Chains A and B, each alone.
Chain A
C-alpha cells in the first residue's frame, strides 16, 4: 500500500538503492491512501468478490498501491466520512437501508501508528519530473511489481500472509496462553472467529510464528513494516469478510504483529533499526495527556458554502487561501466539528533494570501510542513494546540556515504486551525463553549432567563466605524452590512451593553477607532490615495521589519479591505487628489488604530468607533456639529450615579460616574469578531450572518420603513427644523437589529424598536439639515454651535444690520419695514431667545425677 512515501531517503542510502529521488507522492500520508485505496477498489471491483489473491490482476494492484494523483480526486465519494467513527452524528441514520457489513461497509480506521513517518519525509519538490519515470518503471515491471524502495510484492505478500493465517498451526503451542483454542486447528483462523464473535477488530500476530512459517515474509515485515503491515491488514480483512460476510465491526481489522526478534534491549538500538519493526522491553516512566491530533481538516467557504478537506502534511494543515468554487480569497473557515482527529499519547519508556550494565544510568526512549493504544499503560508498568523505530530531523528553522544535526527518535507503538500483569498468574515464559540462547541452554544442560553439580553450585554460592556448606546448600535449594501444586479443586488451595529459611547465630558470622549475596543474585529479590521496616513497608499501603485524588495501591517488599526472595535482616528486631503480617505470607502466600476502601488479596509468593541474632547477643548453648531468639513458635514452624551459624571454636577450622582470609587480601580480582563458577552462570542455571524444570514425585521417592516421615514421628513417640508434623513432611517434599530441580530432573527420586532428609536433619540437629536432653525435639519449634513456663521450671529447680540441701549430706535419694516431698512442700500441683525437668536442670548444673530410681548428689 503506501508507496514511496514510506521510505525515507536515509534508508535508501544505507541500502544502496539511492538513485531514485522521492516523488510527489511522498507528500501524501499513508492513512489517507489507505482509505482512498479501499474506496477505489470499491469502485473498481468490490473486495469481497475479488478473485483469489494469486490471480489478482497486476493492474488492480497497480491501482491499489501506486494510485496516481489524478485518480484520487475522482475517487473520493462525497459521503465518505459517513461511516467514520469520528464523524459527528449517528452513522446508521445516514447509511442507506442496509446494515453495515463486509469490507465495503466497514469503515477503515486510520493507522497513525504506521503513518506518522510522513513528518520525517522531506519532499523534494524540484524533482517532479522524475516522478513520472517511477510510475512508468513500475508499470513496465508488470508482473514483478514491488513497492517502491522495497522488495515487497504486494500480491504475493498478501497471498503468503493469507496462507499463513489459514494454515499456521503452532507446533510448540503453550496451553496456558491461549485458553479455549484448539491446538490442532489453524491458530489464526480461530482468532478471526473470535474477532467475529467478540467484535474487537485487532488481530495480534506473533512474529515468531510468522518466522517459523515463512522466513522471507518475516524478514520483509521486519524491514518494511510500513508497507507490509497494511498489506497484512488487507489480507486479513479479505479473509475475514470472505468467511463472515455479515459480520459487523467497528472498523476494519488491524493486524498487530508482536514479538519481533529484532531487538530486545534498548541499549542495542542503533541507526540501522530506523524504520524497522522492533520489540523492546522496558518500564513506563511517564505518559502524557491525550493529544488530539488532527488528521484531516474540514474547511467551508463562508461565501458559497463549498466544502473541502485538507489532510495533515508533515504536521501542518495548509489552509486553502482561495475557494475553488467561487474564487473568493480567504473565505475558507475551519469547521472543527467536521474535522477528523485521532488520539495520540506520548510515553517515555525506560530500560528495565535487569538490562542495564552496572554503573550506567538507564536509557529512555519516547513512544507514540495512537487510538486504541492510548492509556493502555501506566507509569511503572513493565511492557514489551513492538513498534516502528523512527528518527525525525529536528524541524528546519526557516530563519537560520544551519540545522541542528541531531535527529529525534521515537517508536510508533503497534503492540503492547505487559510483562508484569502476566506475572500475576504464571511465570512469563515468553521473556524467559528469549533470555537463553541455544548454546547457553546446551551449556547449562551439560553442567547439570555433572555428578557433583549440587556441591559445585553450593560452592559457587557466596564464595567469600567461608564454609557453612549445609547452609549454602539450604539456600541453594531455596533458590530453586519446589514445584507449585494446585489443590484448589479439592479445597486446599495452592500448596506453597517456596522454601523459607531462617539463619540465626552469633553476630559477625556473615549472616548479613549471605543475605546481601542472595539479594544480589536473584532478579526479584528484596532486602529489608527488620529494624527499619514497618508492616506497611513490607506489605502494601494505599496512597492518595495528590494530583488526581485517586487512591493508589503501593506495594511493599513482600509483594515486590513475588516469585523472588525477600531477605529480612535483623528478623528478631522486627516489631510484633510487622511480624504478624508474615504469618499469612509464609503459609498462604498471599497478602490481604483492607484499607481506605480497598479490599484485596495480593499474591506474595516470596521465599523468605531471614537472619536473626540471639537475644543475649551471644548464642547461649544452654538454651533452645526458641529461647535464644525469642520468636513466636507459630512463625518459626513456618520456616522449612532453621540453621544456626555459630562460631565453631576449633583449631583446624581456625586455620582454614585464616588461610581463606589471607588469600582475600592479596589475590587480584581476576584470580578470584577463575576459581569459582561465574555468578552469571549460576543465575542463569537457577533461572532456567525455575522456569523449565517441574519435577513430580516418583513412586519410589513417595515411598521414601513416607518412611522418612514415619521415622520422624517414631523418634518422638517413644517419649510421648511429637517430633514431626505434616508441615515437616511438606518441607521434605519441597526440599526433595528442589534438589531434583538442581539436577534438571523431571522426576523426584530417592537420592533427592535422601538429601532432603539429610539437610532437614542437619538443620533440626542444629536448631531443634534440646540442649538439656540432647535429643532432637521438634516440639521446641512447633510449640515452643512460654517464658512463664520456663520461669516456673527455674523456680521449681531451685526449690528442689533447697529441698535436697535441707536434707543434709545424703549421697543418694529415692526418686519417688523426693517427688512426694516436693509435692508436699509446694502450693501448686507438680506433675512428674515437671519434676523430671527440674531434676534435669539440676543435673545440667552438675549438682546431681539421676540413675534409674535413685538420685545421687555430686
Chain B
C-alpha cells in the first residue's frame, strides 16, 4: 500500500491500484471512497490537504488531492463519460483496461488508441457544479483557515509561503510549473490566459499572496487580439476574488442544492488538453455546423480554460453547516471531541456575552438596548418553515443612525470582524437601478448569471439606507427593491428563468441601517439613541477594535456561530404562562398587542434564551423579553412624538 505522500500527491495512482485489484467487480469505486475517507479521518489529515482557497492554482500540482470550500453557484447538465475503457496498441494488439473516473481526459499510453467499441466500456454519469468561494467570506475566515493548513502544506506543493514579490521573469522561467511544458505546444490560444494570470499575480503578489490570482475579469483588458472578451467568472458579489471551479460530483449529487456551502476533497485537474479540445472545436464549428451543438458562449462558460477555472473531481464532499474555522466542521453530538468543545465553551458563555454586549454597546455609540437587539439579530437563523412562513428570521431596522462620520460604514466593519460572511449593500438610486440583484438564467450561455442576492445561508447582509437620496427608480430598481422586500419577508429569492420564475429559499440575516423608518419591511425596528458622539468616528471605531484582544475576538466569533446551531424548546408550563400573559395584555388594550407582536416577543424570547446558552424558555427570560420589547416600543413612540408626523 502506498505511503502518506502518495495519496496526497498522486491520488490517481492509488485509485489505479485499487482499480487494478478489483477490476472485474464494480465495487472498486466504493473502495476508493472508503480508502480516502479513512485517510482523511486520521489526525488533522484534512489540514494536510492543500486548499484551493488559499493556494493559487498554478502552485498546486495537477492531479494532486486538494480541498475547496465553496458555494454551489450553478448546476450544469449531467455528463456521460467513459467510466471504464480499453486501450489497444495497434502494433502489438495488447489491450489495457483503464478507468475514466476522476479524470477529464481518457488517457492512453503512447502508441495506444482507445477502443471505443470495446465490450468492456462502461458509460457512467457524473454531475458538474459551478462553484465559487463563499460570497462575502470575511478576511478573518480566510486568514485563520490559511494558517491552519499552511503549517503542513509544504510537502504537497511547490508553493512556499514566502511572500516575496514575484517578477515576470521568474514566472516565465518557472519550469516547475507542471503544465507549462504541455502548454508550450498549444500555441497562442492559451497564452493570453497566462498573461492574465501572471499580471494578476503581480498585483496581489505583495498584498495578499494567499489569494488566487485569477480574478473576475473586470479590470483586465490585456487581451491578445484573437480572443473574445475575458470570461466573467460569475461571482455573486462585485469585487470578489478567488478561484471559480468546476466541481465534478460522482455520488449523491441530488442531495446538493444551489447555494449550498460545500467542502470538497478531490483530484485537481488543470489539464491544458481541455482547452485545446475546446478551441479546436470552436475553430471547426464554422466549417462543420452540425457538430456545433452549443453556442460559442455556452462553450466558453461550460468548458472554460482549465488554467482559469480548474476542475476538481470529487472523492469526498460534505455540506458545511457553517464556515467558521474556529469551530469543529461538523457539530453532531456523537463525537466526543465536539461535545467537549461545546460544553467547554458553554461554561464560559456568560462572560463572553457580557463582553460582547459591552463591545457592541460601544460600537453603537453607547446604546445598550440596540446592542442587545444586535446580538439577538446576529444569532438569528431560519430554523424551520411552516408552509410559506419562515420561522426564526429576525430582521432589524436600526433607525436613527447618524449620517455623519460614516458611522454605518464602520459599524459594518465591526460586524464583518464578527461574522464569517457578510456583505455591505449601500443603497442608492444608482446602485438600485444598475446592479443585478436577482440571479437570472442566460439561455445563450446556458448558465445562471449570478446576482447580489445569491448568498449562502447565514450571510449577514447589511443594508445601508442612510445614503439613499430622492430620485427615480426605474423598472430594474423597482424589481430590486421588491426582491429585497421578498427576501426580508419570506426569506426567498425568485430567480428569473425568463419564461418562469423559480423560488429559492434562503437564510440571510438582514440588518437595515437608516435615518427614519426604512422603506423596506423589517421584523423589528430599533431606534438608536447615541449616548456619545465621538468627534472622529474613524479613530473611535478603530481604537475600539484594537482594544479587543484577538483571543477575545475569536471567542465572539465562536459565540455567534455556535449559538445559531443550538436547539430550543418551550415547556408546557411556560406555554401556559405565555398564553395567560397574552390574553391579559389583550384584555387591557386589544389594539396594542396583536398576533404580530406576540410573534416578535416569542422571537425575542427565543434568541434571548439562546444567547444566554439556555435551550428552553424560562419565565424570567419571557419577562425580560417583554421588558426589552416594551423599552423598544417606548423609544419608538417617543421618537414619533418628537418627529411629529414621522412614522
A positions within 8 Å CB-CB of B: 8-10, 12-13, 18-19, 21-22, 122, 124, 126, 269-271, 274, 283, 285-286, 291, 293, 315, 344, 346, 348, 353, 356-366, 379-380, 391, 393-397, 400-410, 462-464, 466, 508, 510, 513, 516-517, 520, 532, 647, 649, 651, 654-655, 657-659, 661-669, 672, 679
Contacts and interface: CB of A to CB of B under 8 A. Distances in A.
Contacts of A364: 77, 446
B117 A9 contact: yes
A151 to B, nearest CB: 18
A126 B590 CA distance: 91
A9 B478 contact: no
Given A403-B106, A516-B490, A393 B116 contact: yes
Interface stretch (B205-213, B252-260, B354-362, B636-644): B252-260
B280 interface: yes
Nearest to B253: A360
A461 B105 CA distance: 53
Contacts of B117: 8-9, 21-22, 122, 124
A379 B603 CA distance: 47
A359 B602 contact: no
B103 interface: yes
B568 A464 contact: no
B594 A13 contact: no
A543 to B, nearest CB: 14
Contacts of A402: 105-108, 273
B121 A13 contact: yes
Given A353-B500, A647-B594, A513 B389 contact: yes
Interface in B70-98: 74-75, 77-82, 85, 90
Nearest to B111: A401
B33 to A, nearest CB: 20
Interface of B: 74-75, 77-82, 85, 90, 100, 103-110, 112-125, 254, 257-260, 273-274, 276-277, 280-281, 288-294, 384-389, 391, 441, 443-444, 446, 448, 478, 482, 490, 497-500, 502-505, 567-570, 575, 578-579, 582-583, 586-587, 590, 594-596, 598-599, 602-603, 606, 617
A359 B289 CA distance: 35
Contact of B100 (A286, A405, A667): A405
B497 A362 contact: yes
B448 A13 contact: no
Nearest to A648: B590
Given A532-B482, A672-B384, A665 B125 contact: no
B273 to A, nearest CB: 6
B80 A407 contact: yes
A651 B595 CA distance: 13
Nearest to A353: B500
Contact of A661 (B90, B384, B504, B602): B602
A556 B151 CA distance: 59
A8 to B, nearest CB: 8
A356 B501 CA distance: 12
B386 A271 contact: no
A122 B112 CA distance: 16
Contacts, number: 218
B598 A658 contact: yes
Contacts of B500: 353
A344 B583 contact: no
Given A400-B273, A520-B388, A662-B578, A315 B85 contact: no
A516 B106 CA distance: 50
Nearest to B113: A401
Given A291-B289, A463-B386, A658-B598, A380 B118 contact: no
Nearest to B494: A527
Nearest to A400: B273
A9 B82 CA distance: 13
Q: Which of the listed residues A12, A365, A664 has the most CB atoms from chain B within 10 Å of its own CB?
A: A664
Nearest to B499: A380
A237 B504 CA distance: 52
B618 to A, nearest CB: 13
B276 A397 contact: yes
B384 A669 contact: yes
A608 to B, nearest CB: 19
18 contacts: A315-B291, A358-B503, A361-B75, A361-B448, A362-B502, A379-B499, A397-B276, A400-B277, A405-B85, A407-B82, A409-B80, A462-B387, A464-B387, A532-B482, A647-B594, A654-B583, A666-B606, A668-B384
A348 B259 CA distance: 25
Contacts of A463: 386-387
B590 A649 contact: yes
A18 B607 CA distance: 65
Nearest to B112: A401
Contacts of A651: 583, 586-587
A10 B257 contact: no
B81 A408 contact: no
Given A353-B502, A363-B77, A516 B121 contact: no
A291 B105 CA distance: 30
A657 B502 contact: no
Contacts of B291: 315, 395
A657 B606 CA distance: 18
Nearest to B481: A532
Contact of B118 (A13, A654, A657): A13
Contacts of B503: 358, 520
Nearest to A12: B119
Given A269-B78, A464-B386, 14 more contacts: A9-B121, A271-B123, A359-B259, A359-B504, A361-B74, A364-B446, A366-B293, A379-B443, A403-B108, A520-B388, A647-B590, A654-B582, A661-B595, A665-B602
Contacts of A532: 478, 482
Nearest to A274: B123
B116 A9 contact: yes
Contact of B75 (A360, A380, A649, A664): A360
Contact of A359 (B80, B257, B482, B570): B257
B585 to A, nearest CB: 9
B80 A513 contact: no
Contacts of B599: 661
Contacts of A344: 290
Closest 3 interchain pairs by CB? A18-B119, A359-B257, A9-B117
A292 to B, nearest CB: 9
B108 A658 contact: no
A466 to B, nearest CB: 8
Given A9-B117, A360-B257, A404 B590 contact: no
Nearest to A346: B293
B579 A662 contact: yes
Given A516-B490, A672-B386, A10 B79 contact: no
Nearest to B98: A405
B420 to A, nearest CB: 21
A50 to B, nearest CB: 36
Nearest to A382: B499
Contacts of B85: 405
A661 B448 CA distance: 38
Contact of A13 (B78, B105, B122, B389): B122
Contacts of A362: 497, 502
A323 B293 CA distance: 35
A13 B77 contact: no
Contacts of A379: 443, 499
Nearest to A116: B290
A283 B497 CA distance: 11
A348 B257 contact: no
A356 B502 contact: yes
Contact of A406 (B80, B119, B258, B443): B80
Q: Which of the listed residues B77, B117, B444 has the most CB atoms from chain A within 10 Å of its own CB?
A: B117
Given A404-B106, A662-B570, A664-B386, A394 B277 contact: yes
B290 A665 contact: no
B602 A662 contact: yes
Q: Which of the listed residues B107, B258, B289 has the most CB atoms from chain A within 10 Å of its own CB?
A: B289
A21 B118 CA distance: 8
